[in-house]
Structure 1
């Protein structure tokens, strides 16, 4: 064996140090081999330590949060028995919400989350704080510090929906939030079945009966899930029984209590007495008597002769908990529990009574009691959260970017705008990081924000190329990159989006950026070869253009010579689609047909019967040669619409010929003025909405150039005899100017009061989103049966009226009563939600008509399913009745699990909620 030299020893030492450091950093950043995350909050530096009693690695909180201040508790409160994690803390004097983020989790898995607090007069103010604690966006508990030397532990069991979870402290105005430690422990999904995706369990107390030493606390490694089992003993009332033999869990045990806990139990000291204990409900501001879930654990620890029995009843507040006699099983762990919270009592009294036939007194080994919290509030889409978190980390954003980006709305991140659907997670739709001091390349994480519509990165110091991933953002309509140091060429995907009018890209003041879509190669010297290649190409293009022009002239001349009925200058008619509207087409014989003025006179019997009049002119009744009834809309000489607004050939007369819509307008049907007062059903309204949306989508996407209607309203949606809907009245339509992709220029504000986009009103620049806004008003009319402007008793828009009522969560308060409840509630909610999105004040937050069509198709499918179910069963109901968990009583609580070492409250005749639940720290006094 070779002898090590000092040099090799030093090298080995450095290697070991590096390995150890790497292991420490690994443990800090990720769960350990057990899936545990343990954080010492306020511990300086980046390394942690191994706890002497549990052998669990405790990490420093660097990397888990980016706010707050380090502090040590006052020296007078540091005792030999106080756990090391309590010596330091992190306080959060700034901001309303401050959070820790625990990552690398398994989505959908159940976790135990535990937080530790000890004030210790760290700030010298001796001012005891109180603040709220949240798990993600769901309320957990209120932390109420009652004494500077009183450690407080709160614990919850929840299902985590994402690969991360945040624990957030919220200021309530009663002192500065702080935290001493944080634990996360994975649980099998079969454990604690009362915790599910919509409700979590908040620990009120977890106790091991039997041990007489209060420091004999059981946790990891004796409990592989690292639950903390505190001792509860009263030698004046109870006798201890114990065993050294292993107490086993049954197959598929739902609680897996460790054998160390089950090896001890208590029985009444007086064999004729019962075991009794109680706790008081902790009143809450919104719930004076919250419900609780209790789990009682039993195991027979004595091998009983055949002539000896132990049987007992379990009572809650004088009523049987179980409807049968209970006999514990020898050396097997068993539990009795309630699946749902108890009926709400001001206090809960448990009594375990021996039966008349029992020869031994009752026993109990352990108990857990939980309250229930709702975890149904949906946080921001997890992909959006991950993306924005990576962006925050890359650019070290120091705004109020803590916790969930969108929820609650009052705490949404600065310069981040979100959309809020009723049944889907919120999505990030706009980010404004202009003039935020960003450096480096554009993060690829922006490409994961799939719902973003407006991205402003202007006036920073961003370098490198524009990532092509931005072109894959389906909803992106505005991308502002002006005032940076970007280089390279604009990606082809973005160029294509610019050309089809779906994206407004702003890229000025980037001196190194090529804008021609070609590769940015340095300019080379001109050569004769280049000239020889370019000149022929130019000549070929010119020849093609001249040839095309000649062909067009010849074709027009030929057409004029063979069509004697077309009179110059006075009989040209519109070349618009001849059905006069877009939507479901049922008149193919009208498509793309052109009429002369003489033909129009013949069709209308010399313009004999007037059907109506609008700003464009009169509408006349007419019939084609095959008897098809049509409507002919002829522009009057006095009309100021048509010459520029309509895409027509030059001429003195212009007209539209379209299918006769016998059922009038949607507006009339909503008001019950048509069809003898019969109101539209929900199915009919949905179909009208869908077909109208398809018409608008065609204008925006199917026309070249695209068209903006500018006067979408219920009176311009016409219905035929089958109640098929078509968008009509294009007197105010405008075509896109491709030199300005996002809007068209106009000096005149047009539209109908109640339908006009406020952004268009302010800028005088209509966009396709102006039509979307107006269509949102139409959707609200279909849902509510109300007019765009209500008298309530003061004038109010239908948008404000609906938002106020829907904010209270009551859809029925806005639904048109003329439908008599014959509708799918979920479908109506979805349409209302679409309408509110369409009528967002900022156009960037509105969906496209393509999005609206897709959403309305889903609503139609909901209604179709409801119809098919109603045809087969009369017992179908919507709402929670079809929810497998609907029988659960879910309580949203804000109770404080105030752990008080000095007041042993979970005991006979005392308050259960004040029992100490400290970790392996100070001994009980």
Structure 2
């Protein structure tokens, strides 16, 4: 079937909550209809696709412009009524081809309301004003309009609609033959408090009655689909003053398919007929819908992502799989955004797709850490992050699931990411004496130990409580070493969210200073160091500069809070490498070179021991 041509999609809003749209008029424009007084707006803010066209020969203004959809498998209008969810809405959509393209070939398309098939091209239906929830009720699904008749109309060409009808329902004159006579009243017909349909008085003031009072008024509803059920709404009002004739009453016997279902003393005969769709499908989970739309916005995804992500089944969003639509509501089980030009950090919205089984974000430009919240995706079986720029360590829970075989991880080609998977595995276990950049961590530990030992040796008195002002007692450092506030440290470490390790000095946290990864060592209250030792250490370390030693970036000291900020070394610590956690093997010449560097580092420490 050809792609849909949607000419007018109307969901009334400006009056009593209508949304009134004239498709194809210039973006941002609007006008007030001379006949109804309804204000129509452009559809530019309701749809992401389509090309504006025009028809020259129609007199009705709402059909002079149209929106043509020649590309894409589905094109969707998104309407958000201010009355909110859980309400009933009357919907009307009008369509016309008008040979706008000069092809003399009328397009054919399916029309869906949410995830439910509405019709294959139809008139009259798209959410109109929100009406009272007691009207047009149905057990489940939507009621699709069939016909709406005005019996006994005084004008055969007069269609009653807004403003006579507050919901802009269109009542069409209906003739049933010469065996009926028309009756009417000039008095207003008022809907009582028990009637929430707000029927127009002009329509209710006219009626038909059989010429022979014993003859029935018969209406036949036919449909080739035997599963279709009709809901018939008959509105009555008496328009003849029977009180002038003693003992006169009017009673109807209402029969459906030959069976009498009620005896009714009428007030006025009208009919409102709707047809119920067989089992309307349930929309997608709201949590999944919110999550995937947030992902779309965060990364500006350019795909056919319009309407319901999972419904209808034949128009599911590109890159998605959903659970069986028979399950209410359907859930997203697969999301493939490989090679989609994604940039920035991994959005936390991925963690809200709680039923997802496969997530593919490979071959993009994603950066930053992998969110711990992904560990909450208990049904996740495949996670592909290959060929990105994510950094840091992998969430431990996901690693455990990978080791157990319940989760397939693909994380190659992420240079800054170090996990058992991305670092690779050797078939042969090799005990190493030094490993890559982690040797620098050993040098720092040895250097700090030497400094502590030297300080202890020179000290002939116990550690004193520092009582001087912070400004006077700041370490003497060069201008390249930064003094941070404790609030800087809280922000830098994301409120101390990621622990790298612990030692006698205290806890070491991971953080970011601008775009640089740092390690923040926070002096614990139980540490043997006092303030003087801390100050001495800072003054020593800021003077040590060597290619094999991590640089001290800065320090902080506020009240009893003290700490150091170093460059972060991403390849783990020496204990991890010696334990075999990282199975790197080194070529002989590299191993020798590392030993040589180690001795040079010791040389720096021993020759310049008297740094103070």
- Contact kept, 8 Å, 1:457 with 1:480, in 2: the verdict is yes
2:250 to 311, 325, 329: 311
Residue from 290, 295, 309 that aligns with 1:386? 290
DSSP-derived class of the 2:235 partner: strand
Q: Distance in 1 between matches of 2:218 and 2:11?
A: 43
2: distance between equivalents of 1:393 and 1:215? Answer: 49
Choose from 291, 294, 300 the match for 2:238.
Answer: 300
RMSD: 4.1
Which residue of structure 2 aligns with residue 241 of structure 1? 184
Find out whether 1:118 has 2:61 as its counterpart. Answer: no
- Deviation of 1:241 (Å): 0.8
Q: Does 1:185 align with 2:129?
A: yes
Question: Does the Cα contact within 8 Å between 2:11 and 2:18 map onto a contact in 1?
Answer: no
Equivalent runs, 1:869-888 vs 2, <5 Å = none
Question: Does the alignment pair 1:495 with 2:433?
Answer: no
Gap change, CA 1:196 and 1:115, over 3 Å in 2: farther
Cross-structure match for 1:432: 336
Residue of structure 2 equivalent to 1:137: 115
What is the CA distance between 1:435 and its match in structure 2? 0.7
CA distance in 1, matches of 2:90, 2:149: 17
* Distance in structure 2 (CA, Å) of the matches to 1:217 and 1:316: 28
Q: Which residue of 2 aligns with 1:373?
A: 277
2:143 to 201, 210, 215: 201
User: Is 1:60 matched with 2:9?
Assistant: no
Return the structure number with greater relative CO, CA threshold 8 A, min gap 6: 1
Residue 30 (structure 2) pairs with residue 48 (structure 1): yes
Structure 1 residue matching 2:399: 3-state secondary structure: helix
- 1:748-784, CA deviations, whole angstroms, 9 ceiling, x for partnerless residues? xxxxxxxxxxxxxxxxxxxxxxxxxxxxxxxxxxxxx
Aligned partners of 1:200 and 1:374 also within 8 Å: no
Inter-partner Cα distance in structure 1 for 2:237 and 2:193: 11
Q: Judging changes above 3 Å, is the alpha-carbon distance between structure 1 residues 485 and 57 closer, same or farther for their aligned structure 2 residues?
A: farther
- Name stretches of at least 5 consecutive residues in structure 2 with no aligned partner: 1-9, 421-437, 453-579, 584-612
Q: Provide the rounded CA distance (Å) in 1 between the counterparts of 2:273 and 2:380.
A: 50
Aligned twin of 1:211: 153
Contact 1:281/1:290 (8 A) holds in 2: no
- Residue of 189, 206, 226 corresponding to 1:264: 206
Partner residue of 1:87?
64
Q: Deviations over 1:384-419 (max 9, x none)?
A: 233223333444434344444334544433322223
Q: CA deviation at 1:120?
A: 1.1
Partner of 1:478: 382
Q: Which residue number in structure 1 is paired with residue 265 of structure 2?
A: 327
Distance 1:421 1:125 in 2: 38
> In structure 2, how many angstroms separate the alpha carbons of the residues matched to 1:87 and 1:56?
16
Structure 1 residues 117 and 376 mapped into 2: Cα distance closer, same or farther (>3 Å)?
Answer: closer
TM-score after normalising by structure 1:
0.41
1:450 counterpart residue number? 354
CA separation in 1, counterparts of 2:202 and 2:40? 24
**SS state at 2:92 partner:** strand
In 2, are the aligned partners of 1:447 and 1:469 still within 8 Å (CA)?
A: yes
Cα 1:86–1:444 shift into 2, 3 Å: farther
Q: Does 1:154 align with 2:159?
A: no
SS at match of 1:218: coil
Cα pair distance change 1:35/1:96, threshold 3 Å: same
1:431-477 alpha-carbon deviations (Å, 9 max, x no partner): 11111122444334323211112211122233555445434333334
- Closer, same or farther in 2 for the Cα pair 1:392/1:53, shift >3 Å? farther
**Which residue does the alignment assign to 1:160?**
none
Aligned partner of 2:310 in structure 1 is 406
Name the counterpart of 1:276: 217
- Please say if residues 281 and 289 of structure 1, whose CA atoms lie closer than 8 Å, have aligned partners that are also in contact: no
The answer to whether the 8 A contact 1:282-1:289 is kept is no
Is the aligned partner of 1:220 residue 2:197? no
Partner Cα separation in structure 1 for residue 11 and residue 193 of structure 2: 36
The structure where helix makes up a greater share of residues is 1
Change in Cα spacing, 1:47 to 1:527, as seen in structure 2 (3 Å) is: farther
Cα distance change, pair 315–417 in 1 and its aligned pair in 2 (3 A):
closer
Deviation string 1:614-673 (CA, Å, 9 cap, x unpaired) is xxxxxxxxxxxxxxxxxxxxxxxxxxxxxxxxxxxxxxxxxxxxxxxxxxxxxxxxxxxx
| 51 and 512 in structure 1: CA distance in 2 versus 1, 3 angstrom threshold | farther
TM-score (norm 2): 0.59
